[in-house]
Structure 1
């Protein structure tokens, strides 16, 4: 709840400090005195847009600060801690400075923060019901949240969200598996095609080196043939031309052997004969090899085939190498990997069935939530209508509609579209809440809604104790223009209902009616007075006789003995 509000140099207010009651606080004063500036100050610390023109003329900066007692269980406590703000003894300080020129500055517990953080924090602390603030409830999301809070459907909402989140998790898992399987299939196709390509070439270890050697020989074939021919001509010319009569080196060696054998003394020439026979054998083998070499030298056609083969092997090495041995090893591993790959259609089907079951469970939980909301919406509309009748709006009605989403789907909040339609007077068309109604009518509508919601909360959680009534965990409701067009008995009922709401929440009301202000636990008067530099707006708390005089002024415009007595009687009667 709001523990203290302090304002400096905002419009006609040079300095004001007020400490609202934990229950109901009334802010009164003559028209034009500056009551609206107090609401502007609360708007500033709630993250509203700043207007430099509202800085007091002659001053450099306007400043406003609100001190909030969070208390245990406050919805803002956890949010503040997540934002890195540590409440000091349970107190949260929200401040805003607005220069006459330039940008405003937002602070929380003395730290500069984004203006959006003030908005997020204040939404959990303050609800302003005034003509400029009714559009907040025009949001379908806020209307849904209000209905959920009234319905007390948290168990149904939790059950639905658990089912919906499970369905979402399974959907993401299925999508991921499908993506993975698509990748597996693509990888399997790649392995299969790669293996087929390598098999079609059928490389052999070391083959590329052998082919390059053959290519070198063919490319140097003329020089090789000339050298081999010369060697054969010298060793055995008959290998080149059978008509040649010149003896071969081998035949000459053979003649030498025969000559030594003809001596008949073989033992004497045994070593020489052995060496000559070895030379003869080597010469025969050498001539045979050179002749084969000459016959095996390929031509241009062989060179084309070899180059084509080398090209195929180089392609394999470029993709799966760097060596032929690496290519062969990669192919063997790819065959193993391909056998291990499985698209797992059974797993996919099982996951699809699991997801479908989760969607059905979410739909069932969503229908339970919708039923709870629909029943609560009918009750809410009926009870709000009765409250509006007591607030001088007989015939006004609130229709709470809960319908299936237009797209037929579901999200984290359920399967419903929630809308609040307001009928301000008999015969009027139903209007979307927040449009085409006066500020006073909308303020009273919001008061009726908050009253019904508070009653429902008390029923759900039990009546609050006296200690609860001063707890810092109370929400602050601010009402402006709620008394517009109200008088007589309806004004008394209005004040009584504000006081009733104040038993469970902090209520601050700006009012012109004594019948409303008399119900307040604490009253502040905003009035123009003479200051050091001319006329200024002053804010002061009134008690005892001072309050009787203010109530008398509001009743009769004077402070006569009769009006004072009437004020005294009104204050005494304004008790729950």
Structure 2
């Protein structure tokens, strides 16, 4: 859900901090008070197009920030991780800044992102629907996914089975296309990888070679320091009056003491062990000094070999292991290109076998979609009937194309509808907006809000052009959507306002010749007054107040029955 929203220097808003709750939040106020400006800010926050015109006059930039709290399995987290955005404490913070010059800066959880990434993430968090903005439901390309979401686990499982085979099918097609390219291009490619393979093979690289060479180079490059340090150590340990000589005398003394009293035997044993260890050390140091020599030719040889390895690393991989793996990879490609006709023939046979299986899985998926399309039609018709549109016809067109394999199956899905009896069904995207369209959209939102996973749904005056019993039905329908998703709704209908869990009143404030927007949460008594104003207009009467209280009481009963 959208938990916190901060807007600064945006249009007529100077500074606005809003906290939102779950359920249905209704925003009301006089025309021009700034209700739609808040929706504009949310659109920009979720990736909408912006310009310097949104910046409040006299300010350098507008700032919009929103915090969304999500459950751990929300699809937004997966999208964030794809773009390398850290997500902690099940929260996502979006931030958008627009300068007076029109420059836009977008951030998600503090990381700067492009506008397209902000839009990608924002679409998972919020769905904004205005009277003339149909968004997802009015995009025919999204109808297939909506039907699949409605079908739930059954369709998702069938689609996963289909996709597993489709991925192999797509890979085979790419391989066949690659091996069937222009012969001259393939010859050039073969020449290139043949040269690369020969270069790698000629180098005769071995795993761990580089580390050993680096160690040997280190020793040769520091020969003088190493010889001096070992000589100093040997001189201090060995010879008359040196460490080993004194330790031998100590051992002899302790041995005599232990012969007199067994309590000193442990001291003798410790000293004797130290003497033998140190004696071995002196012998090893002496041996090293005898064999240690400076070999400038070997140093040059090592430098040359390391340089050769570094040249290969720059071309073929960060490590010797990467270079060798690349060599194996191009060896396989060389074989494919050298014997490409044989490989193409084998791949084509495998592709034909895959197509048979893919067709069967596609038909099974299509069969499920046909089944759930009927159930969806029935569900939509029930919702439309509750909105007094019982004569409206809705249909899910499922068109299957065998042999036309796509990532999501062999089907094309599009929603069709007619609101007038006797008129033919037409694509939903071509239906005119207005009061009827508002009800159609609400009916569909009621169905799909349970499956979309969108955190917040915003309705911007979708109740325009309706009144009476239809207005009451719209209020009830919006509340039902709020049971599954957080809903923010700008409305001029008292029937909708009465269904609110939270009621925010928006008004203009004038201070020092500047106009600002102020948002005030209403108490139960204040809510009754505002609903009364919405019913009667400017003049408030006792009868109007009674009507407002009666409407709130009725709405409370309807809300309890809807849960």
TM-score by length of 1: 0.65
> CA 1:181–1:101 in 2, change beyond 3 Å: closer, same or farther?
closer
Question: Which residue matches 2:414?
Answer: 419
> CA 1:351–1:80 in 2, change beyond 3 Å: closer, same or farther?
closer
Deviation readout 1:74-101 (Å, 9 max, x if unpaired): 1111211222222342222112222232
Match 2:383 to one of 379, 384, 387: 387
1:318-467 equivalences in 2 (<5 Å): 351-405=347-401, 408-454=403-449, 457=451
Instruction: Determine if contact 1:384/1:397 at 8 Å carries over to the other structure.
Output: no
* Cα distance in 2 for residues equivalent to 1:423 and 1:443: 14
* Cα distance in 1 for residues equivalent to 2:515 and 2:136: 36
In the alignment, is residue 503 of structure 1 matched against residue 483 of structure 2? Answer: yes
> Which deviates further from its counterpart, 82-91 or 353-362?
82-91
Match 1:160 to one of 140, 143, 162: 162
Equivalent position SS for 1:434: helix
Give the count of matched residue pairs.
406
* Cα distance in 2 for residues equivalent to 1:344 and 1:134: 51
Equivalent position SS for 1:410: coil
In the alignment, is residue 543 of structure 1 matched against residue 538 of structure 2? Answer: no
Instruction: Determine if contact 1:80/1:86 at 8 Å carries over to the other structure.
Output: yes
Q: Tell me by how many angstroms 1:535 deviates.
A: 3.6
In the alignment, is residue 482 of structure 1 matched against residue 484 of structure 2? Answer: no
Deviation readout 1:23-64 (Å, 9 max, x if unpaired): 111111122222110110110001111132232233332222
Question: Which residue matches 1:24?
Answer: 24
In the alignment, is residue 568 of structure 1 matched against residue 549 of structure 2? Answer: yes
> CA 1:41–1:440 in 2, change beyond 3 Å: closer, same or farther?
farther
Deviation readout 1:514-552 (Å, 9 max, x if unpaired): 111111111111112333434432111112211111111
Question: Which residue matches 1:518?
Answer: 498
> CA 1:530–1:537 in 2, change beyond 3 Å: closer, same or farther?
same
* Cα distance in 1 for residues equivalent to 2:179 and 2:114: 42
* Cα distance in 2 for residues equivalent to 1:444 and 1:47: 27
> CA 1:96–1:425 in 2, change beyond 3 Å: closer, same or farther?
farther
> Which deviates further from its counterpart, 69-78 or 169-178?
169-178
* Cα distance in 1 for residues equivalent to 2:474 and 2:554: 14
Q: CA RMSD in A?
A: 3.0
* Cα distance in 2 for residues equivalent to 1:73 and 1:381: 29
Instruction: Determine if contact 2:51/2:102 at 8 Å carries over to the other structure.
Output: no
Instruction: Determine if contact 2:28/2:490 at 8 Å carries over to the other structure.
Output: yes
Match 2:471 to one of 491, 496, 506: 491
TM-score by length of 2: 0.66
> CA 1:484–1:424 in 2, change beyond 3 Å: closer, same or farther?
farther
Question: Which residue matches 2:507?
Answer: 527
> CA 1:178–1:13 in 2, change beyond 3 Å: closer, same or farther?
closer
* Cα distance in 2 for residues equivalent to 1:51 and 1:554: 34
* Cα distance in 2 for residues equivalent to 1:428 and 1:509: 32
* Cα distance in 2 for residues equivalent to 1:389 and 1:485: 18
Instruction: Determine if contact 2:51/2:103 at 8 Å carries over to the other structure.
Output: no
Equivalent position SS for 2:430: coil
Question: Which residue matches 2:52?
Answer: 52
* Cα distance in 1 for residues equivalent to 2:391 and 2:161: 38
* Cα distance in 1 for residues equivalent to 2:56 and 2:504: 22
Q: Tell me by how many angstroms 1:350 deviates.
A: 5.6
Q: Tell me by how many angstroms 1:142 deviates.
A: 1.0
1:63-212 equivalences in 2 (<5 Å): 63-152=63-152, 153-173=155-175
* Cα distance in 1 for residues equivalent to 2:486 and 2:79: 20
> CA 1:14–1:427 in 2, change beyond 3 Å: closer, same or farther?
farther
Structure possessing the higher radius of gyration over alpha carbons: 1
Deviation readout 1:447-477 (Å, 9 max, x if unpaired): 211212346x59xxxxxxxxxxxxxx76211
What runs of 5+ residues in structure 1 fail to find an aligned partner?
188-340, 459-472
* Cα distance in 1 for residues equivalent to 2:122 and 2:419: 29
* Cα distance in 1 for residues equivalent to 2:86 and 2:111: 11
> CA 1:481–1:429 in 2, change beyond 3 Å: closer, same or farther?
farther
* Cα distance in 1 for residues equivalent to 2:173 and 2:478: 49
* Cα distance in 1 for residues equivalent to 2:383 and 2:151: 18
Deviation readout 1:286-343 (Å, 9 max, x if unpaired): xxxxxxxxxxxxxxxxxxxxxxxxxxxxxxxxxxxxxxxxxxxxxxxxxxxxxxx996
1:199-348 equivalences in 2 (<5 Å): none
> CA 1:124–1:180 in 2, change beyond 3 Å: closer, same or farther?
same
* Cα distance in 1 for residues equivalent to 2:423 and 2:480: 30
